[in-house]
């Protein structure tokens, strides 16, 4: 990360991503947008046992939605479910255990979900991971990439048939302002070259999520796709960056404040009046976010048919085929 990009990101963060910035922006929010009942609609939320995911689940459950919590840790998930049910009185909250870094299991989970449930109105890709060192999953894929990008892609693509059969389908992905320090790079998807910096790898993955959302929106026009930045929030991800957390802890947003835009994108009629594939911050689109994205036609990891960037699964015809891995 260049000194310029680092400085620009921090200054932007201090003015736009903090708790005070949220309080200032919230003065223009339209309260009626969130005065809705979503009874009868189903919402899948990954990483729903803590932080933004749990706050999102709580807010939607209060509005009557059926919640599918997709979590890695069963004990923490069940504890969070109990909190949500107790707080909201909504018993339509279900726990599903899944490690998003195990990509084949992600596909198997999605296939099983489609067989069991007749509809899914909203998918919220919230779970994310920052690794302190490079590590591989059982399939030989770098875990951070598998969790933040490939797992998100497989889950989303696998559930699209179910979403398309449902009323007013939406997919929301929780990105991060950290991606502003990264241009899109597709030549080192597995972080095999150079020194492994978990924070920068995470930022690159968040950039990839933004571009992936734009491409999915172009391909699946019956679904409203969006990606958003929650601001600087006091969550387990922030705790994974101890120096940043220590210096900014008094200015970090609460999980509820961080979840505000996610909830708005999930339940409000106003959200879907905007074009699909956009990036959001503080309940509005942010067009300048795109100027940092660089997509090189026919780059390594690109689709051989279109020349556009896509995650490795665009080269993966099915669950029985070997996963493509970037070996460059």
Going from the first residue of the chain to its last (328 residues), give the mean pLDDT of each consecutive group of 10, the final group possibly shorter: 57 71 85 96 98 97 98 98 98 98 96 97 95 90 94 98 98 85 83 88 92 96 96 65 60 89 98 96 76 40 38 35 31
CATH code for the structural domain at 3-296: 3.40.50.720
- DSSP 3-state of 43: strand
- DSSP 3-state of 121: coil
**What pLDDT shows up at residue 248?**
64
- Taking each helix axis from N to C end, the angle separating 198-219 and 151-164, rounded to the nearest 10 degrees, works out to 20
State pTM to two decimals: 0.83
**Can you tell me the distance from the alpha carbon of 279 to that of 229, in angstroms, rounded to the nearest whole number?**
8
Active-site residue set = 202
**What pLDDT shows up at residue 4?**
55
**What pLDDT shows up at residue 241?**
59
**Can you tell me the distance from the alpha carbon of 144 to that of 198, in angstroms, rounded to the nearest whole number?**
8
Question: Does the CA dihedral 219-100-48-22 come out positive or negative?
Answer: negative
- DSSP 3-state of 252: coil
**What pLDDT shows up at residue 15?**
67
**What pLDDT shows up at residue 231?**
78
**What pLDDT shows up at residue 253?**
85
Contact 171, 216 (CB under 8 A): yes
**What pLDDT shows up at residue 65?**
98
- Spell out the residues 6+ positions from residue 206 whose beta carbon is closer than 8 angstroms to its own: 128, 148, 175, 176, 178, 179, 182
**What pLDDT shows up at residue 185?**
83
**What pLDDT shows up at residue 244?**
56
- Spell out the residues 6+ positions from residue 123 whose beta carbon is closer than 8 angstroms to its own: 43, 44, 155, 156, 159, 163, 170, 171, 172
**What pLDDT shows up at residue 221?**
97
**What pLDDT shows up at residue 264?**
98
Structure tokens at 201: 């790898």
Pairing of β 284-285 and β 66-71:
unpaired
Sheet holding 224-228, edge to edge: 93-97, 66-71, 42-46, 122-125, 170-174, 224-228, 278-281, 284-285
**Can you tell me the distance from the alpha carbon of 262 to that of 256, in angstroms, rounded to the nearest whole number?**
10
> What does the domain layout of the chain look like in residue ranges?
3-296
């Amino acid at each position: 990360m260049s000194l310029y990009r680092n400085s620009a990101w921090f200054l932007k963060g201090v003015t736009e991503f903090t708790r005070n910035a949220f309080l200032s922006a919230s003065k223009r929010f339209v309260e009626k947008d969130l005065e809705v009942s979503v009874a009868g609609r189903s919402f899948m939320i990954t990483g729903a046992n803590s932080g933004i995911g749990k706050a999102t689940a709580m807010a939607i459950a209060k509005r009557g939605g059926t919640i599918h919590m997709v979590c890695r840790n069963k004990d923490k998930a069940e504890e969070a479910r109990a909190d949500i049910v107790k707080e909201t009185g909504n018993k339509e909250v279900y726990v599903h255990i899944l490690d998003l870094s195990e990509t084949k299991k992600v596909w198997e989970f999605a296939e099983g979900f489609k067989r069991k449930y007749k509809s899914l109105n909203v998918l919220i890709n919230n779970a994310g991971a920052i690794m302190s060192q490079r590590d591989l999953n059982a399939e030989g894929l770098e875990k951070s990439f598998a969790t933040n990008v490939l797992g998100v892609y497989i889950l989303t693509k696998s559930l699209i048939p179910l979403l398309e059969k449902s009323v007013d389908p939406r997919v929301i992905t929780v990105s991060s302002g950290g991606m502003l320090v990264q241009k899109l790079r597709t030549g080192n998807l597995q972080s095999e070259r150079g020194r492994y910096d978990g924070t920068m790898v995470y930022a690159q993955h968040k950039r990839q999520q933004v571009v992936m959302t734009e491409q999915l929106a172009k391909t699946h026009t019956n679904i409203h796709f969006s990606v958003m930045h929650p601001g600087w929030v006091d969550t387990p991800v922030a705790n994974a960056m101890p120096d940043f957390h220590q210096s900014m802890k008094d200015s970090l947003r609460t999980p509820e404040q961080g979840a505000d835009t996610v909830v708005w994108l999930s339940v409000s009629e106003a959200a879907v009046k905007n074009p699909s594939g956009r990036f959001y911050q503080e309940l509005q689109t942010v067009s300048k976010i795109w100027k940092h994205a660089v997509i090189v036609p026919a780059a390594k990891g690109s689709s051989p048919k279109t020349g556009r960037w896509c995650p490795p699964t665009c080269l993966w015809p099915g669950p029985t085929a070997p996963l493509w891995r970037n070996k460059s």
